[in-house]
Structure 1
């Protein structure tokens, strides 16, 4: 069989860096970032420190850049599938070194990934629990071979989530779940621990980093904050350089303080939906679900209740602008009326469904005469979403459907959505390498009870097979056809009502440091809390 090959030039991954850094690059400087936690301790185990160290102390193998649609190769320089998609060969860069100067080889990769089989909590993407991975072997110093039981062109997507660790150190620890890695050796841009204080930690450059003249910066300082309310004034005062949290009225509270240097960029992130439990009245009737979608003025909701920061989502196929290159325009052309604000049509559909006012109180009732009083679940304290739900309830009232906010604690919300113990709830959708993973989260029967997004009740064996078929091919055209069919299925069934694409919260200062991604240089989604994306940003940042 013809081999399906996915190989990229190392240099190509950094063309954007050179383009974005047309000016002379200055070496040195320190980046200061906020971390919401209760303080720092001497623990450099990347699996037990909530992603503090991925992309900083430990370099990923590769990063699937969902903003550019390309693969950013890091420790790895290429990968290749066999024709039957059951063998994956990963090739590392030559002459890689750990920060202590010792060689970083395929043996380290095999050890790091095999180790997670003995420590299931470290098996972050279930490469072992999924039972498809049969073996990982080192063919030579730079070649790692993965043998799969069944064809799966998506298996490689898992690898960016695992930490590659030095075997010569970690293999000597007795219990890795308790190992704090007190004298860390890493492969990322910042591996030298300058100090760890309860409220601050400083990590500085790796003397053996594999990218020449990188990082441009000397150090990264983490500062501990309890919550967003502490981060906002720190950002405004210039105490931190990079913010990744919600700031109310960011233009006046942050940008206006220093228009030359204070900036924000909020590109689309996860799609936010109103999930409906189709096992419960009145959502067991498709016409009701469609009507309530058409009852909403999404642009007004975004502008008034969400401060104008999100992007209204008129895509009826289940995904938002984060995945715009995968959105099937034909699906939107055929079903786009379902996300257009149309009160007259919404009322007509409700009448057609037999959802009418039977007792004269001004609100519609179920066909059996029972009153409708939708309680839309949202987490207590999520003020922006509470405002959204309040406004949604007002739009529902305009078409005669009574609704209101049901504020619950996170633990209740988490359990209710996973157990399908809700009528309607506002929630996000999965952000992943490819939207097929979002559809898997929505519709795979295996996900029921394990995710917040599969409790709506719309599942079929045919959809399971369609989702599973995606990994059986590496043909991009065939994969897009599968995605298009899933978009059409979502539009036809409407298990959730699309509202908007949440913004990627990103504020930054150019007073000292430049090279940030922005609307003119969208080289990566600007997410701090994801190691693969922040290491790409660190490649670009340098002194002004």
Structure 2
């Protein structure tokens, strides 16, 4: 009786309090984060996308069982939709996840007016989608590397029979044990399985509701519906994305575990601990590909944040490495960290121009690398905001070594010309351009974009190639179009950046792994010796033996040169006085829920 009275009283108090809360919300200015992407998005289906900027959006819409602590450095996993960290047994071959009850998807017509709770089966379904041949997921090769028992057989059956993928077929390796519990069983030991599959930005981690996918069909890229802190409110393709606070988002508060000696992290924790997430109401992301208007937009107060300060303006914003006085006066803060990324010139190994494994074709790629002055690129185009890369692995990941030195660090145009001469890449008709060893014309076509940064890099690279007598032709298109061409193998070369998705450097080496051809392996590199090293690496625990395999893999990549490895960028983000709580993520993409907007400090128009 007392319990019933207490419940009734609580309900009455909630009803009485509701108008006051609504009035307070209505009377205060909405907190809006505004910034711009330098590259257009491709869509918002986690199973179909592979580009960074689309993933930034989906990382805030879809929920993974686990997430990274926002303040711990370099990284620490914590539960997200999971009740606790998963139970791990059988030598890292069995993982049991328990999902928190009472988590709901954002409202959507697909649910026909009903609240839709997140259940274990949603994660089972979302992972299965990556294996559905119809989805053509670029994440399939890397997910299959994890060896979830039974999923590949289900995919093979669909491919062989031509029938639709059987989502209702239960498999031993991925099974919902009850409404809130699912189990993962792997063929082989995978000590890093959690980082590879079940953390926020991963292709399979974000739970999708089956009825939403079936409701929207081929339009699912336009209709992301998740349980995360934000929901897509408006989208103008390649122009603007607007996200709003998800009204159904669970009761989540700011909590973190920064290192004891982390002064900045401890200050942020003290300021925000216990605050309800997300702290902002709305996020407006524009697409501004040209650096100058993006920079001016920030200076004019139209954006509260500029991610990755364009290199062209580094001298203006950070003269002598310090924030310019006029920006300090405005309350602007600079966040400067080494990026866990690498730039790559991708050679299509199936291209008759630059591909192939014969000594002559290898010599061409190695000559291009030797003749490319990366130090000049760092000084002129990147304004000193980068360091030379020596391998595929990125800073802060396993396998990266700041002391490693490879031929990727060598600039030697004389040696490059001698190599070309030795293997028959010579100028036979005296027009100043080298021909192929068989005497046919040689033109190297490179995909590129129209933004100012790309133009600067293109100009420097073309000068390097001109000096070698190699004719370079530039093909300009938008970034998503170039990605599509690269994934389908319809290209010769393309310059691209790659950022680490997890603390393990093996993810970077997937770009050379044969089964990932056309997906992560844009170079379409196929070499059994490399694949064997890669596969051994997957099963070993972290330690000296596994680190030795990183060295072995690097030697193979440098020898065959499917990529010309460029630089690790130094990243500088700027926040205006209104944006508080920002700290650049390392391996994760979701951060909007951890920042606040001080509306009293917004720049007046």
TM-score normalized by the length of structure 2 = 0.64
Is 1:447 the counterpart of 2:447? The answer is: no
Q: Matched residue of 1:240: which SS?
A: coil
Is 1:90 the counterpart of 2:97? The answer is: yes
- Superposition deviation, residue 145 in structure 1: 1.0
> Which residue of structure 1 aligns with residue 16 of structure 2?
none
Cα distance per residue 1:471-518 (max 9 Å; x no partner): 334445444333222112112222222222356573322x12322226
Gaps of 5+ in 2: 1-28, 107-114, 145-150, 155-170, 255-273
Distance 2:192 2:420 in 1: 42
Q: Matched residue of 1:506: which SS?
A: strand
> Which residue of structure 1 aligns with residue 444 of structure 2?
375
Is 1:469 the counterpart of 2:536? The answer is: yes
Cα distance per residue 1:372-410 (max 9 Å; x no partner): x44341234143223223212222333x32333422435
Distance 1:422 1:172 in 2: 35
Distance 2:47 2:191 in 1: 26
- Count the aligned residue pairs: 486
Cα distance per residue 1:293-323 (max 9 Å; x no partner): 22232121122234444x24240x3334464
> Which residue of structure 2 aligns with residue 13 of structure 1?
none
- Superposition deviation, residue 52 in structure 1: 7.3
> Which residue of structure 1 aligns with residue 251 of structure 2?
209
Q: How does 1:156-235 map to 2 (within 5 A)?
A: 156=194, 157-160=196-199, 161=202, 162=204, 175=215, 177=217, 187-189=227-229, 202-203=244-245, 208-211=250-253, 213-215=274-276, 218-223=279-284, 225=286, 227-228=288-289, 231-235=294-298
Is 1:524 the counterpart of 2:586? The answer is: yes
2:392 maps to which of 315, 318, 321: 318
Gaps of 5+ in 1: 1-27, 526-531
> Which residue of structure 1 aligns with residue 341 of structure 2?
270
> Which residue of structure 1 aligns with residue 459 of structure 2?
390
> Which residue of structure 2 aligns with residue 238 of structure 1?
301
- Superposition deviation, residue 221 in structure 1: 1.7
The answer to whether the 8 Å contact 1:228/1:245 transfers is: no
The answer to whether the 8 Å contact 1:196/1:202 transfers is: no
Q: Matched residue of 1:78: which SS?
A: coil
Distance 1:178 1:337 in 2: 46
Distance 2:354 2:55 in 1: 42
Q: 1:244 to 1:253 in 2, by over 3 A?
A: same
Distance 2:45 2:420 in 1: 56
Q: 1:209 to 1:112 in 2, by over 3 A?
A: farther
Q: Matched residue of 1:304: which SS?
A: helix
Q: Matched residue of 1:293: which SS?
A: helix
- Superposition deviation, residue 340 in structure 1: 2.1
Distance 2:353 2:128 in 1: 48
- Superposition deviation, residue 337 in structure 1: 4.4
The answer to whether the 8 Å contact 1:165/1:186 transfers is: yes
TM-score normalized by the length of structure 1 = 0.70
Q: Matched residue of 1:302: which SS?
A: helix
Distance 2:530 2:302 in 1: 50
> Which residue of structure 2 aligns with residue 249 of structure 1?
313
User: Whose helix fraction is larger, Structure 1's or Structure 2's?
Assistant: 2
1:407 maps to which of 454, 457, 475: 475
The answer to whether the 8 Å contact 1:96/1:210 transfers is: no
> Which residue of structure 2 aligns with residue 23 of structure 1?
none
Distance 1:158 1:496 in 2: 26
The answer to whether the 8 Å contact 2:341/2:500 transfers is: yes
Q: How does 1:295-314 map to 2 (within 5 A)?
A: 295-309=371-385, 311-314=386-389
Is 1:63 the counterpart of 2:67? The answer is: yes
Q: Matched residue of 1:453: which SS?
A: coil
2:579 maps to which of 509, 513, 538: 513
Q: How does 1:470-485 map to 2 (within 5 A)?
A: 470-485=537-552
> Which residue of structure 2 aligns with residue 15 of structure 1?
none
Q: Matched residue of 1:238: which SS?
A: coil
> Which residue of structure 1 aligns with residue 5 of structure 2?
none
1:438 maps to which of 497, 508, 516: 508
The answer to whether the 8 Å contact 2:230/2:243 transfers is: no
- Superposition deviation, residue 95 in structure 1: 6.6
